[in-house]
Structure 1
Amino acid sequence: MRTLFLLLPFAVLLGGVTACEARTPQVVRQEVSVRLDPPQHELSGSSSVRFAAGAGSVAFRLSSGARVSEVTLAGRPVPYRFTGGLLVAELPGTGAAQTLTIVYRARFNDPVSASPGAGEDPSYGVSGTITSQGTFLGDSAHWYPVPEEVPAQRQVAVTAPAGIEAVSFGRRVSRETRDGVTRSVWQESHPVGALSLCAGPYRVEDRTVDGIELHSYLYPENAGLSGRYLDAAARYLRFYSALFGPYPFEKFAVVENFFQTGYGFPSFTLLGGAVLRLPFIVDTSFPHEIAHSWWGNAISIAPDSGNWCEGLVTYLADYYLKERRSAAEARDYREQLLIDYASLVSPEQDFPLTRFESRSDPASRAIGYGKGAFVFHMVRRRIGDEAFFSALRQVVGSRLYQSASWRDFADAFSKSSGKDQRAFLEQWLTRPGGPRLRLAGVTNRREKGDWSVSGSVAQQGAGYRLEVPVRLETQAGPLETRVALAGEGAPFRLSAAAAPTRVVLDPDAEVFRILSREEIPATVNSVKGSRELLGVRTANCRAGAQGFEDLLASLSQQDARVVSEEELAKGEFADRDLIFCGVPGERRLLPHWPDGVQVEREGFSVAGERYSGPDAALFLVLPRPGTAGRVTALYLPLSEAAGAQYGMKITHYGKYAELVFAGGGNRQKARLAVPESAAAVVLNPLNQAGL
């Protein structure tokens, strides 16, 4: 199927789904009622579904482990079959609407790890679980009979032991605790997607802001964070409503999960307790999930058109909020997207954005989130802020509570800018990778008292049509031009009265491109993206064999070969990236330490602070001497317990090269300077310079 997909023309790829399938029966209303039994990991439920006149055979998705006790129509049994998670019932053909009722029980007990790995699966493999700690029932658990199409109206009633509060989509119609049970009812005005449900011994706080009902459902130990998150919810809902249009749901709730997740559902976000307590989350991951209210929830992704949603939300939350704070922060973020892509995505792993569905590994995340965000940035730079945000409002106005494809965005950008943007988008969406750019033939000449600097921007591989900024730095300040590139190269010339010092290609990282190996600094992501990583376990490795393997798995390197220091000395591994667990006996095997770092076998010092007790760990990534583009990493936990506590955190610091953990968390972090040898040419003002 994917091979055929790539052969379709762009107009079809961006056009969404064709109407080739039989029309499903119209679902007028669905009412779901469930009772949770946490000690038994079970729920008992019933669902009444009203179909429009003319419905015959109707189908539902329901957990394959469910036990269906009855399927009735007006109290009378209806023939049905239930196999492999698909329930099909036959309704008598009539000219009137009919209500089908399904009664069932189901058990959900997916294992939840107390210390989950740091992979790319945001659910950690949990689709449905009901426990005394808490309940999480995702849409893929099919915890209720899910009809073939979303109902026009939907209501959910949840009953649980007293004190167990539940949250689902829609407005909270009622909530009470009586006779040993807590019951709540949720109703949607505009149902979207399949339902998810969460429950736990929450402390609940409510408020109303601008007509939107806000709720917090937090565990007692985190209930004190409620005000902070509700204040932030009000702030970001106002901010994004001004950009896109009115908030599309009846309520917004911040809900705590009993394991570490970061989900944005229609009308609530679900964050793990440890995540909630991180001080920066309220202004990073939290607005990301709020932006999903419009993009991904109120407007879903059209099937088989490519997931545009994660790239757009990354751009509008993770990136755009930084841009509003600081131009320097914004530039660093764009540059980091390019570094991550070059570090994590190999040609064998690459694919077009029209094939991105969801993240499954670091490479797919760098493509769908990072490259996707960069595409939206380039469109915005091309058409301007007014046209860009006007186009987003157009998409909201035309596709709200429906699905959208890349085609819908291309059309909206074209309409708002007054110029067809489809050809520009096509090259970024339907091809893997991106352009490889460099400066070529740069010369510096004195002409009639002024300086004339000329050269070209060269492009390797398939020709992209784009404008590349080129900056000339002089002793009196910078000058800039934009080079229109369509084929293998395009010339530029800049004149300056003051002596030139340097020419820089795309100095502010405004264009998506594949960085050369020489432009990529050593980072944690260099280890994650390595295709030839060798693990080296030294006699000084205090993580233990299993601890080192766990670290490699968290870095998506579970298949990396691991050797002893003695085996390394005997083998031919000059072309490998290396990661040492512990300090090797031969110091020559390691690069020179950065300034301010000292490492011994029994401890280490960073920035003047000494670490020698068992509660500390160091992780360094440095260029491997004598091997272009290769890195050497040092993992130095000072005890097995420190390795267990801190090792799995390292993967979350992908852009850093120097990490220190102690006292329960990260104490220090630093990045290496970004090399720019392939993107800059230093000029000699007294003589002609060339490249």
Structure 2
Amino acid sequence: MTSPLFKILCPLFLSLFFASNSFATSDTSLVDMRVSVTLKPGNPRITGIAQTKLSNLAEGKVIPGSAKIIRITTISGKKLAFKLNDHAIELLTKGLSGEEQVNIAFETVVGKRPSFKDPSGGPDFISSRYILLTGPWHPRLPGLSTYRLKLRLDEDFVPVSEADEIISKGQGGNKKEVTFIFDEPRRSITLVAAKFFKKELKTNGVTLSVYLLQERQELADKFLGTLAKAVASYDKLISPYPFRRFQVVETPLPVGVTVPTITLLGSQIIDKPFVADVSLIHEFVHSWFGNSVFVAPQGGNWCEGLTTYMADYLNQEKAGKGLEYRHDILADYKSYVHPSNAFPLSQFQFRFDRVSKAIGYGKCAMVFHMLRKMAGDETFFGALSSLSKEYRFKQASWDDIQRVFSKAMQRDLSAFFKQWLSRKDVPHLALEGATEEKQEDGSFKVKITIVQKNEQPYELDVPVRILTSTSSKTFTVKTKGFKTTSEFSVSGWPRLVVIDPGFNIMRDLALEEFPPSLARLFGAEKRFLILPSKEEKDLYAPMVSFLKTKGFDLIERDKLKHEMLKEGSFLVLGTTSGRLEAFTGKSQVPENGVVVKVRNNPLNPHQVAASLKASSRKELEPVIHKLPHYGKYAFLKFQHGLIQEKSSAGYEKGLALEVTPEVSGIFSQKIDFMDSIIQGLDKYQVIYLGEKHDQEGIHQVQLKIIEALSRKAPLAVGMEMFQRPFQNIIDDYMAGRIDEKQFLDKTQYFKRWAFNYHFYRPIVEFCKAKGIPLVALNLRTEVSKKIARSGLSSLSPEERKELPEELNLENELYKRYLRQIYSAHQDEGELDDFDHFYQAQIAWDETMAQSIADYLENHPDRKMVIIVGGGHVEYGYGIPSRVKRRMPHLRQAISLFNQPAPLDPSMADLFLYAPEVKEPFLPKLGVVLVGENKLTVEAVVPDSPAAKAGLKKGDVITALDGNPVKDIYDLKLELFFKKKGEQAKITVLRKDKSGVSKEIELVSGPLVPVEWNRMKLGFHHMGK
């Protein structure tokens, strides 16, 4: 964790200024410089003596820094003449022994409060409550040197400095003398002191200490527990911890500093969950890389990337989130790094913005990840152990790392390191063709071509995953040219080829892998701010000012043109309507808080479109500066400045290409007709008739198949159109205990299914007449919609009981298949999150599979015909695979209707082609209805039955043919039983000129087909 306020003080940054020579001594009585100081809280004046060899002084190696040199004397008391020369002390007295020790009396004045006006000096200050000295507050030697600090301070102040051992002695007068023994090389001395609450733990020979400004036992215990686990873990993973102490110190400043044995954490963040879970481990791992193995001044800083990998990344990998973390690295890089601002890893020195972080932390971490994939875990971590031991308290460069890994892996890695350190670009991969060829032994040969679109190709090991109808298999392709063609053998029918599905290569993401996010907005080369309306100008003024500093170009709404929005990414502030709403998507201004949404720019998919809406300026202001820190997210909701909801957009995992099947065909004399089709289906116990819901010809063929199969064996029919809670209503109707109108009313058919009941009525009536059981398969709509909008986690315990215990969410092919459907309809429907949509589809499939399995377990003598949408059964992904999981030995046949050519044999067992038949007549009035119960007339279709009745906008329908209707579903139920050409008596409430509602009766024109194409695709229609 680095501070924007001043450069991190660990030697990895400071090594840029180190001399080439470094040394340590095994004799702990000998150090390069001893510093003794006296401090008084509230007094910004530091007085002290720095003792070193005269030769250091004579050679101009003593740098005073911020200290004022008062006098220099030998140990015997002889005063020496000197002057300052080029920021170093020049000794004027000659003829003395170089090994003699000299005392340099100095005085340093720091602030009484922190000041950041001099970033190179750091925020040194001494207040009455806190002492923080991290800058050049004492005389020092250049480069890596050893120091020992002796401090005289008030008894009740607890000082912290770099130390392996601490010796404290009382001095009387409420004073104490504290000596910090730390004889390893460093650049300077860090000193912090306050009336700390201190807690310690000793483990594996290491003293772990936490210093807090208030007594917070729980937080201290959390830090100590985290560090104890880290000591045990990294001792084994890298090498024994390099020091004997690690100290976590709270500071009132918003900083993150790490030096040998110490990490400073700001009070503003110290109790945040990410500090203990992520930041603390990151700083601890710097003990190996940065604070004991130092970064050489030439060739680039490798330390931050390696520490990020060993701390942040491994922590996520252990939690099962390694793939997501790698994807975040690649997405962050693509968001912020462009050809105009890219630079090679060999030029990275320290983080100064998002671009440098994406390169020096993210790209560098991925280089070590690729090394690990090449070497294997044992060799990789063994090489890091060798690096940590061989270069302990020395400087190491990328060349040294290359040498260590080449030796460990017993191969020349010069080409690998050269391409990843010297080049500014990253690999841009693509798949160009994937074909199959069936072999004589029944296996398949798959041929693919990997393309590199860079100016010069990389030498890469590319993971290739081939997904088949039965399994998946992973291969590795070595590529070093612009095009590499490879062949593979697989046993199942090949469906999809995916390269780098785990994001194991540092590469350019394809659009389908690159989800919309705030990082893409803030990192866009061209970013525009669409200003709010005049009415909302004052509300959003602080946000406008902030975004101007972030490089956004401001555009007034009345000057907005399509061409502008094509050029880059944009953010719209405030309420939207018309074309702006079409770009950013619908969202309401929150009642209390701030909502941010990001989606792909519909005019340019390489850019994003975002909207921000706030209920008030008071709600907006505390959010403004937080937004860039939520870069990975596409949706944010804040209240009172605190995050309430956040979610990321979905993405594809890897570059995928469907395998092009070899040429297929069938001789006409081999086409089967109904008798032979029935004979073939009779071999199976479950027959899926995967339909397209709105095609009457399909439903007529379904009925014929049911009729034929029912003559051969006991049969049951399962229907997606009915939901499980209504099974008893279905049973009552099938037994003749209720009539058809009651059946449709009590099963809520018109509320729960969007399609004309006349499609299914003949099937239901045949089953009723023949005593064939009708089984409701589906999940209750309220549950499936809730999952689709808010995910499985949003369900109450009672709602969760309606689902099967096991939900298998792991089918990658099915997920990709559903994502294609989701993406095609994303702008038309009501769903904003693919993962929620996917969970809803799985819940739907699993429930229907459970319904089938439950029925067959209780009725093993029956066959079952399943009337269901084709999307639930294609390739067996949806229902069939889940029935098989429950009943492995069950024979199932998948039939699909009216599939377009070319046919994929792995999609189904049987392809059926039904004639095109006109949809059965369904009576409609010809009105658009709105309102809570959707009975208020919004519009009337010209020349419709409603128009001829005289219905007007604003009328509220209350009855049809004298039968009261309480909502639109009652109205549909009453209309269903009307015949073509009949008229209907419509009772409405209509307001007169005075605003009083009066009930009037109207008579419709003859009920005839009405063409009205306003239906939007919602949850049910997707995936069908």
- Whether TM-score is above 0.5 comes out as yes
- Give the conservation status (yes or no) of the 8 Å contact 2:600–2:609: yes
Q: 2:588 aligns with which of 600, 603, 621?
A: 600
d(CA) in 2 for partners of 1:280 and 1:20? 36
The corresponding residue for 1:533 is 527
**Residue identity opposite 1:650 in structure 2:** L
Q: Does 1:618 align with 2:599?
A: no
Q: CA deviation at 1:104?
A: 2.4
Q: 2:517 aligns with which of 517, 523, 535?
A: 523
Q: CA deviation at 1:345?
A: 0.6
d(CA) in 1 for partners of 2:113 and 2:349? 25
Map residues 157-556 of structure 1 onto 2, 5 A cutoff. Answer: 157-161=150-154, 163-175=156-168, 179-181=173-175, 183-220=177-214, 222=216, 224-326=218-320, 329-448=321-440, 449-460=442-453, 461-517=455-511, 519-539=513-533, 540=536, 544-550=540-546, 553=549
- Classify the secondary structure of the residue corresponding to 1:142: coil
- Give the conservation status (yes or no) of the 8 Å contact 2:512–2:652: yes
Q: CA deviation at 1:527?
A: 1.8
Report which of the two structures shows the higher radius of gyration computed on alpha carbons: 2
Q: CA deviation at 1:228?
A: 1.2
The answer to which of 161-170 and 227-236 deviates more is 161-170
**Residue identity opposite 2:517 in structure 1:** T
Q: Does 1:671 align with 2:648?
A: yes
The answer to which of 658-667 and 485-494 deviates more is 658-667
d(CA) in 1 for partners of 2:511 and 2:502? 19
The answer to which of 181-190 and 561-570 deviates more is 561-570
**Residue identity opposite 1:644 in structure 2:** E
The corresponding residue for 1:30 is 33
Q: Does 1:682 align with 2:658?
A: yes
Call closer, same or farther: CA 1:633–1:157 in 2, change over 3 Å.
farther
**TM-score in terms of structure 1 length:** 0.85
- Give the conservation status (yes or no) of the 8 Å contact 1:59–1:89: no
The answer to which of 531-540 and 221-230 deviates more is 221-230
**Residue identity opposite 2:258 in structure 1:** G
Call closer, same or farther: CA 1:25–1:221 in 2, change over 3 Å.
closer
The answer to which of 301-310 and 273-282 deviates more is 273-282
The corresponding residue for 2:61 is 59
Call closer, same or farther: CA 1:22–1:285 in 2, change over 3 Å.
closer
Q: CA deviation at 1:401?
A: 0.8
d(CA) in 1 for partners of 2:41 and 2:612? 41
Call closer, same or farther: CA 1:458–1:255 in 2, change over 3 Å.
same
Q: CA deviation at 1:576?
A: 2.2
Q: 1:656 aligns with which of 627, 633, 641?
A: 633
**Residue identity opposite 2:410 in structure 1:** G
d(CA) in 2 for partners of 1:545 and 1:182? 55
The corresponding residue for 1:5 is none
Greater RCO between the two (CA within 8 Å, min separation 6)?
A: 1
Q: Does 1:128 align with 2:130?
A: no
- Give the conservation status (yes or no) of the 8 Å contact 2:200–2:207: yes
Q: CA deviation at 1:382?
A: 0.5
**TM-score in terms of structure 2 length:** 0.58
d(CA) in 1 for partners of 2:176 and 2:640? 40
**Deviation per residue, 1:642-667 (Å, 9 max, x gap):** 33322222222221111122255322
The corresponding residue for 2:567 is 575
- Classify the secondary structure of the residue corresponding to 1:458: strand
- Give the conservation status (yes or no) of the 8 Å contact 1:362–1:528: no
Call closer, same or farther: CA 1:590–1:301 in 2, change over 3 Å.
farther
Call closer, same or farther: CA 1:22–1:262 in 2, change over 3 Å.
closer
Call closer, same or farther: CA 1:625–1:144 in 2, change over 3 Å.
same
Pick the structure with more helix per residue.
Answer: 2
**Residue identity opposite 2:318 in structure 1:** R
**Residue identity opposite 1:106 in structure 2:** T
- Give the conservation status (yes or no) of the 8 Å contact 1:518–1:629: no
Call closer, same or farther: CA 1:284–1:590 in 2, change over 3 Å.
farther
> How large is the Cα RMSD of the aligned pairs?
3.2
Q: Does 1:45 align with 2:45?
A: no
d(CA) in 2 for partners of 1:543 and 1:167? 47
Call closer, same or farther: CA 1:495–1:543 in 2, change over 3 Å.
farther
Q: CA deviation at 1:176?
A: 6.0
Q: CA deviation at 1:93?
A: 4.1
Q: Does 1:156 align with 2:153?
A: no
Q: CA deviation at 1:372?
A: 0.6
**Deviation per residue, 1:183-228 (Å, 9 max, x gap):** 5321103232322222333111223222212211111164541111
Q: CA deviation at 1:110?
A: 9.7
- Classify the secondary structure of the residue corresponding to 1:280: helix
- Classify the secondary structure of the residue corresponding to 1:198: strand
- Give the conservation status (yes or no) of the 8 Å contact 2:313–2:322: yes
Q: 2:106 aligns with which of 98, 104, 110?
A: 104
**Deviation per residue, 1:416-446 (Å, 9 max, x gap):** 1222222222211121222111101222344
The corresponding residue for 1:89 is 91
d(CA) in 2 for partners of 1:41 and 1:586? 62
d(CA) in 1 for partners of 2:126 and 2:621? 28
d(CA) in 2 for partners of 1:493 and 1:444? 10
d(CA) in 2 for partners of 1:281 and 1:654? 18
**Residue identity opposite 2:522 in structure 1:** K
The answer to which of 422-431 and 284-293 deviates more is 422-431
d(CA) in 2 for partners of 1:22 and 1:334? 38
- Classify the secondary structure of the residue corresponding to 1:58: coil
- Classify the secondary structure of the residue corresponding to 1:313: helix
**Residue identity opposite 1:135 in structure 2:** I
**Residue identity opposite 1:134 in structure 2:** Y
User: Aligned pair count?
Assistant: 641
d(CA) in 2 for partners of 1:260 and 1:332? 29
**Deviation per residue, 1:578-605 (Å, 9 max, x gap):** 1223234556355354xxxx6223x1xx
**Deviation per residue, 1:68-120 (Å, 9 max, x gap):** 22222233332222366433334634445122222222233497599x9xxxx
- Classify the secondary structure of the residue corresponding to 1:190: coil
- Give the conservation status (yes or no) of the 8 Å contact 1:445–1:687: no
Q: CA deviation at 1:235?
A: 1.1
**Deviation per residue, 1:358-386 (Å, 9 max, x gap):** 01110110101111111111111111111
- Classify the secondary structure of the residue corresponding to 1:619: strand
- Give the conservation status (yes or no) of the 8 Å contact 1:57–1:91: no
- Classify the secondary structure of the residue corresponding to 2:380: helix
Unaligned ranges ≥5, structure 2: 1-14, 665-901, 903-1024
**Deviation per residue, 1:439-478 (Å, 9 max, x gap):** 0122234444443321211112212111111111111011
**Residue identity opposite 2:616 in structure 1:** S
d(CA) in 1 for partners of 2:497 and 2:232? 43
- Classify the secondary structure of the residue corresponding to 2:404: helix
d(CA) in 1 for partners of 2:422 and 2:567? 33
**Residue identity opposite 2:546 in structure 1:** D
